Amino acid sequence: MRAYVDLGKFWRKGLSINAAYEELLMKGMKVDRRTLSSAKDGTLARSEYLTLVRLRDWARELSGNDQLSIDDILVIKNDQLEEENN
């Protein structure tokens, strides 16, 4: 099983990685640019728990949904099912 953070569906059109980094930094939420890039692309597979919470909080702001959960930003893939489908 693999799990990824995917913020692509919440990402504002035209928002650069650097602008997102600066926006979060101004809010006191430091998240590395590489982490943001991977989260935007849906390929973030490893991170600290605190970063995951920060990304969830930011996704809440982007979406306007204060009930958004960490599960909403995760994509979980079952390797066994993928192998059976290939």
**Which tens digits make up the pLDDT trace of 5-15?**
999 999 999 99
CA dist., res. 22 & res. 29, Å (int): 10
What domain count does the chain have?
Answer: 1
pLDDT score of 83: 58
Question: Is the dihedral angle over the CA atoms 8, 44, 49, 75 positive or is it negative?
Answer: positive
pLDDT at 26: 96
End-to-end CA distance of the chain: 16
The whole domain housing 77 covers: 2-85
Is residue 85 very low, low, confident or very high in pLDDT (cuts 50, 70, 90)?
low
pTM: 0.83
pLDDT, tens digit (0-9, with 9 covering 90-100), for 16-68: 999 999 999 999 999 999 999 999 999 999 999 999 999 999 999 999 999 99
Q: Three-state DSSP class for 3?
A: strand
